[in-house]
Amino acid sequence: MGKKRIIKKSEEELIKESEEVEATIKKEVKIEAPLKTKEGRVYIFSSYNNTIITLTDLEGNVLTWFSAGSIGFKGTKKSTPFAASKVAEAVAEATKKLGIEKVQVLIKGVGAGRESALRSLATHGLEIVSIKDITPIPHDGCRPPKVRRV
């Protein structure tokens, strides 16, 4: 076996990559009609592979959504807490543009981005009214298989 070569990115490539991520974060939010209320719901779905954050009004109509993949992260980087905080930052900007001040946060899933997404929402100026965990939990689950006879 020969030597393993580790590809290191230069500073220029890293800066270029971070600029691409920042450019996709600042995606324009389309406002169809002015909102009547200044309250909404934020659904954070964090799986082992991705983090998806959806902003809805109180009736459940989706206003906007972002995911780590839509922002520009690829592969295993989508499931990191850093990616989740960037997604939450994008959602916070969208809520400010829509004029929403108070949000109810509903968290679902078991991924690494749960806590960092919530913290990022709080630090970007959103007033969090309530936090609720809506991860589905089985009560008795499926019937176990029969005992194996040999």
- For residue 88, give the nearest of 52, 56, 132, 112 by alpha carbon: 52
**Does some domain include residue 22?**
no
**Does some domain include residue 64?**
yes
**Does some domain include residue 57?**
yes
- Please report where in the chains the tokens 């499931």 appear, as a residue: 79
User: What is the domain range of residue 75?
Assistant: 37-133
As a whole number of angstroms, the longest Cα–Cα distance in the chain is 69
At 29-74, the pLDDT tens digits run 666 666 667 899 999 999 999 999 999 999 999 999 999 999 999 9
**Does some domain include residue 61?**
yes
**Does some domain include residue 19?**
no
Q: Give the number of domains in the chain.
A: 1
**Does some domain include residue 95?**
yes
Q: What is the distance between the alpha carbons of residues 77 and 36, in angstroms, rounded to a whole number?
A: 37
Instruction: Please check whether residue 51 is in contact with residue 84, taking contact to mean a CB–CB distance below 8 angstroms.
Output: yes
**Does some domain include residue 6?**
no
Residue 44: CATH number of its domain? 3.30.420.80
Q: Dihedrals φ, ψ of 95, to 5°?
A: -65, -35
What integer is the mean pLDDT of 128-136? 96
Give this prediction's pTM.
Answer: 0.77
Query: Is pLDDT of 18 > 90?
Result: no
**Does some domain include residue 125?**
yes
Long-range contacts of the stretch 26-35 (C-beta < 8 A, 24+):
26/93, 27/66, 27/90, 29/64, 29/93, 29/94, 29/97, 29/98, 31/97, 31/98, 34/99, 35/63, 35/98, 35/99, 35/100
